[in-house]
Amino acid sequence: MVKPLGLLVMAYGTPHNLEEVLPYYTHIRRGRAPSEAQLADLVGRYQAIGGVSPLTEITSAQARGIADSLNSDGGRPVKLYQGMKHIAPYIEDAVAAMHADGLDEAIGIVLAPHYSHMSVGGYQKTAREKAEQLGGPKLRFVNQWHLEPAFLDVLTSRVQEALAACSNPEQAVVVFSAHSLPERILEMNDPYVAQLHESGEEVARRLQLKHYRFGWQSAGQTGEPWMGPDILDLLRSLKEEGYEEVVSCSQGFVADHLEVLYDIDIEAQQVAKELGIHLVRTRQMNDDKAFLQALADAVRKCERQGVEE
Protein backbone atom coordinates (compact mmCIF):
# COMPACT_ATOMS: atom_id res chain seq x y z
CA MET A 1 0.00 0.00 0.00
CA VAL A 2 1.31 3.42 -1.02
CA LYS A 3 1.96 5.81 1.84
CA PRO A 4 -0.17 8.93 1.61
CA LEU A 5 1.42 12.14 0.44
CA GLY A 6 1.53 14.76 3.16
CA LEU A 7 -0.43 17.91 2.34
CA LEU A 8 0.84 20.87 4.34
CA VAL A 9 -1.57 23.81 4.04
CA MET A 10 -0.02 26.94 5.48
CA ALA A 11 -1.66 30.26 6.34
CA TYR A 12 -1.09 33.37 8.42
CA GLY A 13 -3.42 32.51 11.29
CA THR A 14 -5.54 34.74 13.50
CA PRO A 15 -6.39 35.00 17.21
CA HIS A 16 -9.29 32.82 18.31
CA ASN A 17 -10.43 35.43 20.85
CA LEU A 18 -9.41 38.89 22.08
CA GLU A 19 -7.26 37.41 24.86
CA GLU A 20 -5.00 35.88 22.21
CA VAL A 21 -4.38 39.19 20.41
CA LEU A 22 -1.41 40.12 22.61
CA PRO A 23 0.58 36.85 22.20
CA TYR A 24 -0.37 36.78 18.50
CA TYR A 25 0.80 40.36 17.95
CA THR A 26 3.96 39.66 19.96
CA HIS A 27 4.73 36.66 17.75
CA ILE A 28 4.28 38.78 14.61
CA ARG A 29 6.76 41.23 16.14
CA ARG A 30 9.28 38.40 16.71
CA GLY A 31 8.91 38.37 20.47
CA ARG A 32 8.66 42.11 21.04
CA ALA A 33 5.41 43.04 22.76
CA PRO A 34 3.43 45.86 21.12
CA SER A 35 2.87 49.15 22.87
CA GLU A 36 -0.44 49.69 24.65
CA ALA A 37 -1.55 51.97 21.81
CA GLN A 38 -0.64 49.40 19.14
CA LEU A 39 -2.43 46.64 21.02
CA ALA A 40 -5.51 48.81 21.58
CA ASP A 41 -5.62 49.65 17.88
CA LEU A 42 -5.53 46.00 16.81
CA VAL A 43 -8.05 44.94 19.45
CA GLY A 44 -10.30 47.77 18.29
CA ARG A 45 -10.15 46.49 14.74
CA TYR A 46 -11.18 43.00 15.81
CA GLN A 47 -13.99 44.47 17.90
CA ALA A 48 -15.17 46.44 14.87
CA ILE A 49 -15.66 43.22 12.88
CA GLY A 50 -17.47 41.43 15.71
CA GLY A 51 -14.71 40.51 18.15
CA VAL A 52 -13.01 37.69 16.25
CA SER A 53 -12.09 37.00 12.66
CA PRO A 54 -13.77 34.12 10.81
CA LEU A 55 -10.38 33.26 9.33
CA THR A 56 -9.71 30.18 11.49
CA GLU A 57 -12.87 28.43 10.34
CA ILE A 58 -12.41 29.53 6.74
CA THR A 59 -8.80 28.35 6.62
CA SER A 60 -9.80 24.95 8.00
CA ALA A 61 -12.59 24.66 5.44
CA GLN A 62 -10.20 25.60 2.65
CA ALA A 63 -7.62 23.03 3.77
CA ARG A 64 -10.25 20.28 4.01
CA GLY A 65 -11.60 21.24 0.59
CA ILE A 66 -8.20 20.95 -1.06
CA ALA A 67 -7.62 17.57 0.60
CA ASP A 68 -11.08 16.33 -0.38
CA SER A 69 -10.44 17.27 -4.02
CA LEU A 70 -7.12 15.46 -4.01
CA ASN A 71 -8.54 12.39 -2.32
CA SER A 72 -11.33 12.07 -4.87
CA ASP A 73 -9.37 12.62 -8.10
CA GLY A 74 -7.98 9.08 -8.38
CA GLY A 75 -4.40 10.17 -7.67
CA ARG A 76 -2.17 9.44 -4.72
CA PRO A 77 -4.09 9.90 -1.46
CA VAL A 78 -3.06 12.80 0.76
CA LYS A 79 -3.05 13.29 4.50
CA LEU A 80 -3.85 16.83 5.59
CA TYR A 81 -1.84 18.93 8.02
CA GLN A 82 -2.39 22.61 8.78
CA GLY A 83 0.33 24.98 9.91
CA MET A 84 -0.08 28.64 10.85
CA LYS A 85 2.64 31.26 10.78
CA HIS A 86 1.69 33.18 13.91
CA ILE A 87 -0.59 31.00 16.03
CA ALA A 88 -1.04 27.34 16.96
CA PRO A 89 -0.95 24.95 15.28
CA TYR A 90 2.30 26.45 14.02
CA ILE A 91 4.00 25.36 10.81
CA GLU A 92 6.67 23.65 12.90
CA ASP A 93 3.96 21.68 14.74
CA ALA A 94 2.49 20.44 11.46
CA VAL A 95 5.88 19.31 10.14
CA ALA A 96 6.60 17.54 13.43
CA ALA A 97 3.24 15.76 13.19
CA MET A 98 4.03 14.58 9.66
CA HIS A 99 7.37 13.26 10.84
CA ALA A 100 5.78 11.49 13.82
CA ASP A 101 3.25 9.89 11.48
CA GLY A 102 6.08 8.45 9.41
CA LEU A 103 5.38 10.31 6.19
CA ASP A 104 8.22 10.29 3.68
CA GLU A 105 7.04 13.04 1.35
CA ALA A 106 4.86 16.11 1.57
CA ILE A 107 3.85 19.06 -0.56
CA GLY A 108 3.34 22.44 1.02
CA ILE A 109 1.06 25.16 -0.28
CA VAL A 110 0.46 28.61 1.20
CA LEU A 111 -2.99 30.18 1.03
CA ALA A 112 -1.65 33.20 -0.85
CA PRO A 113 -1.55 33.28 -4.66
CA HIS A 114 1.59 35.33 -5.25
CA TYR A 115 5.16 34.55 -4.24
CA SER A 116 7.44 36.84 -2.30
CA HIS A 117 10.63 35.91 -0.50
CA MET A 118 9.25 37.83 2.48
CA SER A 119 5.85 36.10 2.58
CA VAL A 120 5.46 32.67 0.97
CA GLY A 121 9.22 32.19 1.06
CA GLY A 122 9.19 32.67 4.83
CA TYR A 123 6.57 29.96 5.34
CA GLN A 124 8.60 27.57 3.21
CA LYS A 125 11.83 28.33 5.07
CA THR A 126 10.18 27.58 8.41
CA ALA A 127 8.79 24.26 7.18
CA ARG A 128 12.01 23.23 5.44
CA GLU A 129 14.21 23.98 8.45
CA LYS A 130 11.95 21.97 10.77
CA ALA A 131 11.90 19.01 8.39
CA GLU A 132 15.69 19.10 8.08
CA GLN A 133 16.03 19.24 11.86
CA LEU A 134 13.84 16.16 12.25
CA GLY A 135 15.21 14.26 9.29
CA GLY A 136 12.00 14.28 7.26
CA PRO A 137 9.67 14.33 5.55
CA LYS A 138 11.01 15.42 2.17
CA LEU A 139 9.19 18.64 1.32
CA ARG A 140 8.32 20.20 -2.00
CA PHE A 141 6.42 23.45 -2.36
CA VAL A 142 3.95 25.13 -4.66
CA ASN A 143 5.61 28.52 -5.01
CA GLN A 144 2.72 30.38 -6.60
CA TRP A 145 -0.66 29.65 -8.11
CA HIS A 146 -1.82 33.06 -9.29
CA LEU A 147 -2.11 31.89 -12.90
CA GLU A 148 -3.93 28.61 -12.23
CA PRO A 149 -6.77 28.63 -14.78
CA ALA A 150 -9.46 27.70 -12.25
CA PHE A 151 -8.31 30.47 -9.90
CA LEU A 152 -8.42 33.04 -12.70
CA ASP A 153 -11.88 31.80 -13.68
CA VAL A 154 -13.24 32.42 -10.19
CA LEU A 155 -11.41 35.74 -9.80
CA THR A 156 -12.77 36.94 -13.14
CA SER A 157 -16.33 35.95 -12.22
CA ARG A 158 -16.07 37.78 -8.89
CA VAL A 159 -14.94 40.99 -10.59
CA GLN A 160 -17.71 40.64 -13.16
CA GLU A 161 -20.24 40.15 -10.37
CA ALA A 162 -19.01 43.27 -8.54
CA LEU A 163 -19.12 45.35 -11.72
CA ALA A 164 -22.73 44.29 -12.19
CA ALA A 165 -23.51 45.95 -8.85
CA CYS A 166 -22.30 49.29 -10.21
CA SER A 167 -24.68 51.84 -11.73
CA ASN A 168 -22.40 52.33 -14.72
CA PRO A 169 -20.05 49.33 -15.03
CA GLU A 170 -18.39 50.68 -18.17
CA GLN A 171 -17.16 53.73 -16.28
CA ALA A 172 -16.22 51.99 -13.02
CA VAL A 173 -12.55 51.43 -12.22
CA VAL A 174 -11.32 48.12 -10.81
CA VAL A 175 -8.55 48.31 -8.20
CA PHE A 176 -6.53 45.11 -7.87
CA SER A 177 -4.85 45.13 -4.47
CA ALA A 178 -2.70 42.91 -2.28
CA HIS A 179 -0.95 43.13 1.06
CA SER A 180 1.78 45.72 0.90
CA LEU A 181 5.35 44.69 1.66
CA PRO A 182 8.44 46.78 2.46
CA GLU A 183 9.83 48.56 -0.58
CA ARG A 184 13.15 46.77 -0.13
CA ILE A 185 11.68 43.75 -1.92
CA LEU A 186 12.29 45.73 -5.11
CA GLU A 187 16.03 45.39 -4.51
CA MET A 188 15.75 41.61 -4.04
CA ASN A 189 14.61 40.68 -7.55
CA ASP A 190 11.38 39.61 -5.85
CA PRO A 191 8.59 38.41 -8.20
CA TYR A 192 5.71 39.65 -6.01
CA VAL A 193 4.87 42.86 -7.88
CA ALA A 194 5.18 41.26 -11.31
CA GLN A 195 2.92 38.38 -10.30
CA LEU A 196 0.26 40.75 -8.97
CA HIS A 197 0.26 42.47 -12.33
CA GLU A 198 0.13 39.16 -14.19
CA SER A 199 -3.07 37.94 -12.53
CA GLY A 200 -4.73 41.37 -12.56
CA GLU A 201 -3.85 41.96 -16.21
CA GLU A 202 -5.27 38.56 -17.15
CA VAL A 203 -8.59 39.36 -15.48
CA ALA A 204 -8.60 42.75 -17.17
CA ARG A 205 -7.95 41.09 -20.53
CA ARG A 206 -10.72 38.56 -20.07
CA LEU A 207 -13.24 41.23 -19.13
CA GLN A 208 -11.85 43.81 -21.55
CA LEU A 209 -11.65 46.32 -18.72
CA LYS A 210 -11.14 49.91 -19.80
CA HIS A 211 -10.37 51.20 -16.33
CA TYR A 212 -8.24 49.37 -13.79
CA ARG A 213 -5.40 50.14 -11.40
CA PHE A 214 -3.10 48.36 -8.98
CA GLY A 215 -2.88 49.36 -5.34
CA TRP A 216 -1.74 48.14 -1.96
CA GLN A 217 -3.32 47.75 1.43
CA SER A 218 -2.69 46.81 5.06
CA ALA A 219 0.90 48.11 5.21
CA GLY A 220 2.75 47.44 8.45
CA GLN A 221 3.91 50.16 10.82
CA THR A 222 7.60 49.34 10.92
CA GLY A 223 9.25 52.69 10.30
CA GLU A 224 10.46 51.75 6.80
CA PRO A 225 8.83 52.57 3.45
CA TRP A 226 6.19 50.11 2.24
CA MET A 227 4.83 49.59 -1.26
CA GLY A 228 2.25 52.11 -2.45
CA PRO A 229 -0.06 53.65 -3.37
CA ASP A 230 -2.20 52.60 -0.45
CA ILE A 231 -5.78 51.95 -1.49
CA LEU A 232 -7.03 54.86 0.65
CA ASP A 233 -4.74 57.29 -1.16
CA LEU A 234 -5.65 55.69 -4.47
CA LEU A 235 -9.35 56.30 -3.80
CA ARG A 236 -8.61 59.99 -3.29
CA SER A 237 -6.65 60.12 -6.55
CA LEU A 238 -9.40 58.32 -8.44
CA LYS A 239 -11.94 60.84 -7.16
CA GLU A 240 -9.75 63.66 -8.45
CA GLU A 241 -9.66 61.91 -11.83
CA GLY A 242 -13.46 61.90 -11.90
CA TYR A 243 -14.28 58.30 -11.07
CA GLU A 244 -17.49 57.81 -9.14
CA GLU A 245 -17.55 54.00 -8.85
CA VAL A 246 -14.75 51.69 -7.77
CA VAL A 247 -14.57 47.91 -7.58
CA SER A 248 -12.11 46.70 -4.95
CA CYS A 249 -10.61 43.33 -5.83
CA SER A 250 -8.28 42.24 -3.02
CA GLN A 251 -6.72 39.59 -5.24
CA GLY A 252 -3.88 38.88 -2.83
CA PHE A 253 -6.29 37.65 -0.15
CA VAL A 254 -8.38 34.49 -0.35
CA ALA A 255 -10.62 34.75 2.72
CA ASP A 256 -12.78 37.12 4.72
CA HIS A 257 -10.52 38.32 7.51
CA LEU A 258 -9.26 41.50 9.10
CA GLU A 259 -7.50 42.87 6.01
CA VAL A 260 -10.77 42.63 4.11
CA LEU A 261 -13.52 42.97 6.72
CA TYR A 262 -11.84 45.98 8.35
CA ASP A 263 -9.37 47.47 5.88
CA ILE A 264 -11.82 47.40 2.96
CA ASP A 265 -15.32 47.04 4.39
CA ILE A 266 -14.85 49.64 7.12
CA GLU A 267 -11.79 51.82 6.50
CA ALA A 268 -11.91 52.05 2.71
CA GLN A 269 -15.70 52.30 2.69
CA GLN A 270 -15.52 55.21 5.11
CA VAL A 271 -13.07 57.09 2.87
CA ALA A 272 -15.15 56.25 -0.20
CA LYS A 273 -18.28 57.59 1.50
CA GLU A 274 -16.50 60.81 2.41
CA LEU A 275 -15.41 61.18 -1.21
CA GLY A 276 -18.84 60.37 -2.64
CA ILE A 277 -17.53 57.21 -4.32
CA HIS A 278 -19.61 54.05 -4.68
CA LEU A 279 -17.21 51.29 -3.57
CA VAL A 280 -18.08 47.66 -4.31
CA ARG A 281 -15.92 44.81 -3.04
CA THR A 282 -15.52 41.49 -4.80
CA ARG A 283 -16.55 38.45 -2.76
CA GLN A 284 -13.63 36.56 -1.28
CA MET A 285 -12.79 33.02 -2.35
CA ASN A 286 -13.36 31.39 1.06
CA ASP A 287 -14.32 27.72 0.54
CA ASP A 288 -15.58 28.04 -3.04
CA LYS A 289 -15.19 24.58 -4.59
CA ALA A 290 -13.94 25.82 -7.94
CA PHE A 291 -11.30 27.92 -6.18
CA LEU A 292 -10.14 25.01 -4.02
CA GLN A 293 -9.92 22.83 -7.12
CA ALA A 294 -7.41 25.33 -8.48
CA LEU A 295 -5.20 24.77 -5.44
CA ALA A 296 -5.60 21.00 -5.73
CA ASP A 297 -4.53 21.28 -9.38
CA ALA A 298 -1.43 23.22 -8.31
CA VAL A 299 -0.54 20.51 -5.79
CA ARG A 300 -0.85 17.75 -8.40
CA LYS A 301 1.33 19.70 -10.83
CA CYS A 302 3.98 20.05 -8.15
CA GLU A 303 3.75 16.32 -7.43
CA ARG A 304 4.16 15.40 -11.10
CA GLN A 305 7.18 17.64 -11.53
CA GLY A 306 8.95 15.96 -8.66
CA VAL A 307 10.92 19.12 -8.00
CA GLU A 308 10.09 22.48 -6.49
CA GLU A 309 8.10 24.52 -8.95
**What is the H or E stretch that residue 294 is in?**
helix 289-305
Please tell me whether 46 is known to bind a ligand.
yes
CA distances from 281 to 109, 134, 173, 211 (A): 26, 44, 12, 16
Please tell me whether 179 is known to bind a ligand.
yes
Please tell me whether 212 is known to bind a ligand.
no
CA distances from 8 to 59, 61, 114, 127 (A): 12, 14, 17, 9
- Phi, psi of 186, deg, nearest 5: -65, -20
Please tell me whether 45 is known to bind a ligand.
yes
Rounded Cα distance, 247 and 20, in Å: 34
Supply the DSSP string of 27-78, one letter for each residue: HHTTTPPPPHHHHHHHHHHHHHTTSS-THHHHHHHHHHHHHHHHTTSSS--E
Rounded Cα distance, 85 and 93, in Å: 10
- Kindly give the residue spans of alpha helices, DSSP state H, lying in 165-230: 192-207
Please tell me whether 16 is known to bind a ligand.
no
8 Å CB contact between 285 and 248: no
8 Å CB contact between 259 and 265: no
Please tell me whether 24 is known to bind a ligand.
no
Please tell me whether 53 is known to bind a ligand.
yes
In the annotated binding site for Fe(2+), the residues are 179, 259
Q: Which residues are part of a known binding site? A: 12, 29, 45-46, 53, 123, 179, 259
List the binding residues for Fe-coproporphyrin III.
Answer: 12, 29, 45-46, 53, 123
